[in-house]
Amino acid sequence: MSTQVILPRIMQVGEDAILQIPNILVSLGCNRPLIITDKMMVALGYAGRIQMSLGAQNISAPIFDDTVPEPTVESIQAGVEKAQKGNYDCIIALGGGSPIDSAKAIAILAKHGGVMQDYRFPRMVMEQGLPVIAVPTTAGTGSEVTRFTIITDETTDEKMLCVGIGFMPVAALVDYKLTISLPPRITADTGIDALTHAIEAYVSKKANPYSDSQAIAAMKLIGPNLRKAYHNGEDQRAREAMMLGSTLAGVAFSNASVALVHGMSRPIGAFFHVPHGLSNAMLLPSVTAYSMPAAAERYADCARAMGITTAQDSNEIANQKLLIELRALNDELAVPTPEQFGIKRDEFFDVCQTMAEQALASGSPANNPIEPSISDMVAIYQGLWD
């Protein structure tokens, strides 16, 4: 059985990749870009840097910086209107997963119209929007190399998964120097997000030899370097490894799909405004423990790739070490429990059934080694309070 692999047309990877934006625009035949970002990227001067490099080529690049941390239908609408009014021929998406996800949605809606709900899974979005040049500034979401975007429908508190080749950026510029300024909390949350992508892609029922190779390579980079980047943001070698690992993990899950952690994570984010990487981290140890019996060898491979077990260890021992490592990682990176995050137990338990139903509807749990029932997911949610 063959596997279709979908990637950006252009990938520029490494130090100062951001400086290649003018050349990439020329190669794409574009000269009227709109920069979509957030106010932090403007404050840090990253957006201005892109404007200066383009200005040297007599290219003007206006900025839309009203994206929000967890994009909503409403938050992207202003961007759609700006993109439609300005006669832009491409979008430069600068930032973490939220600005890039926002840009992907804006690129489709600005060209094809409609509302975001029209494009939610199970519809496969094949039409091409405005070309997106993605410039990630976190080592986590992998959004620069995926055919997914996630937009919250604020009327139902549902994080809508939107899927299709139409959401794949045409170019990705992966410059680890843009992550040096990330604070420890964002480094931790996005780093565990990337690790989750790699693990879930590897154990997914849709895993294939190509995605496996990317997932294993990602875990080899992330496993030894996440703590280093968290404790010392100036560690350039660790930052470089995390950035490449994040991108490879994005390639892996974009071509194999995520599984139960992501399916259950999105509703926590939608209902309680928990950052995506953080809700993944809350769930990763318990979902891994639940899923392990059906994929013991695969999870053992993950432990070996992360460098936390030896080739001589049995699968059972490797899996025990993996669970110990995932819990230790959450402790060291100060990942809060839902209670520590400030969520009230009664409010959480009241929506467990709804969250489980939304998780199942997203399709991601079906890719898990064990396909869970609604009651299984409710039990895992409630287990976060033990």
SS3 per-residue string spanning 146-165: CCEEEEEECCCCEEEEEECH
Which residues fall within 8 angstroms of residue 356, CB to CB, at 6 or more apart?
Answer: 264, 267, 374, 375, 377, 378, 381
- The arrangement of strands across the sheet holding 33-36 comes to 10-13, 171-174, 132-136, 90-95, 33-36, 63-64
What single string gives the DSSP state of each residue in 170-212?
Answer: SEEEE-GGGGTT--HHHHHHHHHHHHHHHHHHHHSTT--HHHH
Please tell me the distance from the alpha carbon of residue 225 to that of residue 233, in angstroms, as a whole number.
11
What are the beta bridge partners of residue 34?
91
SS3 213: helix
**Residue type for 97, please?**
G
Contact 62, 35 (CB under 8 A): yes
pTM of the model: 0.94
Please tell me the distance from the alpha carbon of residue 134 to that of residue 173, in angstroms, as a whole number.
6
- CB neighbour class for 122 (10 Å; exposed up to 12, middle 13-18, buried from 19): exposed
Token duo for residue 289: 């423990």
Please tell me the distance from the alpha carbon of residue 178 to that of residue 243, in angstroms, as a whole number.
10
CA 99 to chain centroid: 11
State how far the alpha carbon of 297 is from the alpha carbons of 2, 222, 294, 317, in Å. 23, 20, 9, 11
Please tell me the distance from the alpha carbon of residue 166 to that of residue 150, in angstroms, as a whole number.
14
**Residue type for 90, please?**
C
State how far the alpha carbon of 319 is from the alpha carbons of 168, 238, 288, 315, 324, in Å. 34, 25, 9, 6, 9
What are the beta bridge partners of residue 66?
38
* pLDDT at residue 291, as a whole number: 98
Which residues fall within 8 angstroms of residue 306, CB to CB, at 6 or more apart?
Answer: 219, 220, 222, 223, 224, 322, 325
**Total Cβ atoms within 10 A of residue 121:** 16
- For residue 53, give the nearest of 20, 12, 95, 83 by alpha carbon: 20
- For residue 385, give the nearest of 350, 333, 334 by alpha carbon: 350
Q: Which positions of the chain have pLDDT values less than 50?
A: none
Contact 130, 25 (CB under 8 A): no
pLDDT in tens, 89-102: 999 999 998 999 99
Token duo for residue 168: 């794949």
